[in-house]
Structure 1
Amino acid sequence: MTSEMYSERRKALSKALDNHSTVLLFSGTAPHKSEDVDYTYTPNRNFYYLTGITRPNMILMLTKQGESVTETLFIEEANPVLEKWIGRRMTVAEAKAVSGINSVYFLDSFEAQLGRHLARKRCDAVYLDLGRASWQQPLSKAHEFAAELTRKHPYLQIRNVHRELANLRLIKSEEEINNIRKAIDITRQGIENLLANAKPGMMEYELEAYYDFPLKLNGVKEPGFTSIIASGQNGVILHYEENDQQTKDGDLVLLDLGAQYKYYSADISRTFPVNGKFTERQKQIYNIVLNAEEELIAAVKPGVTWKQLNDLAKRLLADGLKSLGLIQDDAEISRYYYHSVGHQLGLNVHDVTTLDENDPLQPGMVITIEPGLYIEEESIGIRIEDDVLVTENGQENLSKHILKTVEDIEAFMAKASK
């Protein structure tokens, strides 16, 4: 990723903005955890997308006046005393080199510069990243700043730039795709290490430790999302995250995992028998899911909609369960399959999107395909998930090299046990 790439992204964003407007994006800070401990900092993904900078307490300001767009970056000033405790801060020269922004100032001048701009230039609207995942989500710095701006400059229109950035992020560049490939390969290493060491009686968190080790060896400080290691009955819980139960001989273990590389995430689901051998019943259900997943991946191409993929997933899974006598009617599939077939993937594991279920997929999108069956009365939870690039004429399964068939999983675990 180069500074030129970040400059091109900012240019693309500026074209989507109204004239006489300003964009303010905050890199964010680590949330407080307890007493004098904070959670691990992770950059606001939209700020990172436009600057390449991964440090806290920074502000990007873009101002658009006619055909002229001015880019300014505000960073923390070096503090020799504080740096003895928390490490050195990014210099002005480093910020310029990474972002490609030449106007870099210290944070303590931000309010004065913004105030002068609003007083001396025509500014009708200020764009902020006001995206919210849910009603209950805590207010961000952008939301708090929007309220302050409205109090001090009530004539300003406050607008949400989140949708414009989501549109830009939908289509991945070759560099972004390569980052996702790398994240997938690191995930593969973790899964293989987990399978090679799995034995009945192990705790789920022990399995997780074997997965985590290759990630650390590859420099991954934290995964793209909380790992799911769900054995037996836990496998029917979609977002099971406790990972604190003991595995039993005969259990299936459902994995939903993803390393991240340069903040681009993988998202892979695999299901395996902790003793290395599927029962005949487990194999029946597993192959229904696997065959459905392979057909779904083959159906991915430009122009296909999420609704079409979801409808196909339900039909394929229902046909499989009808063949086993578990259901008699397609409508009954909701008892055993109760989630969507996939989502966008990128800087977030559930990446930002402006698509609804009837919008067509486009070349350059990276999506997940993840059918599953969850048979609570038999303690069988199976999900198989791959990361798929939509190409000009079809698709490429970016994670096809990760163990997936019954035969390959059993052979790998048998070899590892020796």
Structure 2
Amino acid sequence: MKYHQIGSQLFIKNRFKFTAQINPKSLAIFNSNDIYPVSADSTLPFAQHRDIFYLSGVDQEESILLLFPDAPYENQREMLFLKETSEHIAIWEGEKLTKDRAFEVSGIKTVHWLQDFEKVLAELMTYCEIIYINTNEHYRATVETETREARFVKWWKDKYPAHAVAKSNPILQRLRSVKETEELDLIQNACNITEKGFRRLLSFVKPNVMEYEIEAELIHEFVRNRSKGFAYTPIIASGNNANVLHYIENNQQCKAGDLILMDVAAEYANYSSDLSRTIPVSGRYNDRQKAVYNAVLRVKNDATKMLTPGTLWKQYHIEVGKLMTSELLGLGLLDKADIQNENPEWPAYKKYFMHGTSHHMGLDTHDYGKLAEPMQANMVFTVEPGIYIPAEGFGIRLEDNVVVQETGEPFNLMRNIPIEIEEIETLMNK
């Protein structure tokens, strides 16, 4: 891994929080992700399942975490099962976790090789009454492949049909949404790397540059700062491309006078950041672009202040809609008749701002969190309003990542990344 090793105390705390919420005589199992094939002998780069990482720090394929707090013997209460390493594997694939290194990473003393999993599990199943399986219940999830976790669940249900089943995901949705101090530091580091990339491209962008050249500048800066790369597929959208919300081709030339909407950020140690900025190709915004830009910035700043403990996500978006409606009236994009005749299910402002303003962020860019439950301190949210005007050939989105505080305004993890028009123009015209 490129990142510095994370202290095992974080994962020890996370396991304690999880096991404190499961039923008596329960056993929970978590599997790593697969390495996914492309074709022939090609594979995609490995990306660890965030839940087993959250609970153990293990960032390696073919790994299993087993938690059984009521097991009769102490060495059965936390177990890791890892692919057995060897000199041959070390030569061909690189060093894998040894049992000693796995303990250093995770704080788990009992480490077995994967080949012993079924034998060990068979004994533990005679002691437990409930097994917690780990299904994906994220509100944005659409899974079309059979994951390693899903294959395990099918195998387990067939082999042990008499045991009761419970779900780990609802517990993890709540736990992972509230960050520990160590996690906030890791997300801050991802934001700091993103800042370095953004500052680099401000001096690079000029008329006729290609969108993919900007992408290349960013990945260079991210990787040289110990990131694996982009936290999500980057959006580098010049001109009217910005009005395609998930434009990812990044293959067009940036023309003089246009804006570039960039939704692009670095990961660090599997933790995400999530940045949007909109900059002028020629280094200066025109008057209309400035007016729309500042309208979006005002909405972002005012929306951020609403992210406080007790706030409900749905009501928050209603209030942000009111802010945006006022700005669109001021820009002449809406008039009073549009508001009077609007469909309550799709308000008039949605013509120019059709996506949500905030989502949870952490180990996943769209992280775990129960949207129907009130916000809490140490949750991390994006704030990302936008105005999209195809008829005028540009769109603007501005996005920061903020931590909900117990009292006062949220703490902006991207506070040092340029966002004001004057600073961006100054940096682009040095």
Shift, 1:263, TM fit: 1.2
Alignment of 1:13-412 (within 5 A): 13-65=18-70, 70-118=77-125, 120-121=126-127, 123-132=128-137, 133-328=140-335, 329-330=338-339, 331-356=347-372, 359-394=373-408, 395-412=410-427
User: Matches of 1:295 and 1:107 in 2, distance apart?
Assistant: 52
CA distance in 2, matches of 1:63, 1:71: 6
2-side partners of 1:305 and 1:106: how far apart? Answer: 45
Distance, in Å, in 1 between the alignment partners of 2:429 and 2:99 is 55
Q: What per-residue deviation string (whole Å, max 9, x for no partner) do you get for residues 208-233 of structure 1? A: 11122211210212221111101111
132-141 vs 306-315, greater mean Cα deviation: 132-141
Q: Partner amino acid for 2:254? A: T
SS at match of 1:144: helix
CA distance in 1, matches of 2:13, 2:288: 54
Letter in 2 for 1:337: F
Q: Quick one: percent identity of the two aligned structures?
A: 35
In the TM superposition, structure 1's runs of 4+ consecutive aligned residues that sit over 4 Å from their partners are 66-69
Where structure 2 has 5 or more consecutive residues not aligned to the other structure, the ranges are 1-5, 340-346
Aligned to 1:12: 17
Summarize the Cα distance change of 1:324–1:78 in structure 2 as closer, same or farther, 3 Å threshold: closer
Paired AA for residue 405 in structure 2: T
| 1:250 and 1:273 in contact (8 A); partners too | yes
Counterpart CA distance in 1 for 2:141 and 2:189 is 31
Q: Deviations over 1:7-45 (max 9, x none)?
A: 221121111111122111112232112211110111111
Question: Matches of 2:415 and 2:98 in 1, distance apart?
Answer: 42
Q: Deviations over 1:114-136 (max 9, x none)?
A: 11222x32x22211211145344
5+ residue gaps, structure 1, are none
Q: CA-atom RMSD, angstroms?
A: 1.6
TM-score (structure 1 length as normaliser): 0.95
Q: Is residue 283–residue 406 contact of structure 1 (8 Å, CA) maintained in 2? A: yes
Q: Secondary structure at the match of 2:203?
A: helix
Q: 2: CA distance between counterparts of 1:384 and 1:135?
A: 27
Q: How far 1:325 moved relative to its partner?
A: 2.0
CA distance in 2 between partners of 1:190 and 1:312 (Å): 33
Q: For 1:231 and 1:374, locate their aligned partners in 2 and report how far apart those are by CA, in whole Å.
A: 12
Which amino acid in 2 is paired with 1:400?
A: R
- Residue 251 of structure 1 deviates from its aligned partner by 1.1
Count of residues paired in the alignment:
411
**d(CA) in 2 for partners of 1:135 and 1:184?**
28
Give yes or no for contact 1:19–1:66 (8 Å, CA) kept in 2.
Answer: no
What secondary structure sits across from 1:197 in the alignment? coil
Q: Distance in 1 between matches of 2:308 and 2:136?
A: 29
Work out the CA distance in 1 between the residues paired with 2:134 and 2:249: 32
Q: Deviations over 1:175-231 (max 9, x none)?
A: 111111111111011011111100111110011111222112102122211111011
Note the alpha carbon deviations across 1:219-273, whole angstroms, 9 max, x for none.
2122211111011111011111111111111111001111111111111100011
**Which letter maps to 1:348?**
D
Secondary structure at the aligned position of 1:65 is classed as coil
TM-score after normalising by structure 2: 0.92
- Report if aligned partners of 2:30, 2:52 keep a CA contact under 8 Å in 1: yes
Q: Give the conservation status (yes or no) of the 8 Å contact 2:206–2:282.
A: yes
Q: Secondary structure at the match of 1:218?
A: coil
**Contact 1:146–1:158 under 8 Å retained in 2:** no
Aligned with 2:27: secondary structure?
A: strand
| Contact preservation (8 Å) 2:32, 2:149 | no
Native 8 Å contact 2:69 2:78 kept in 1? no
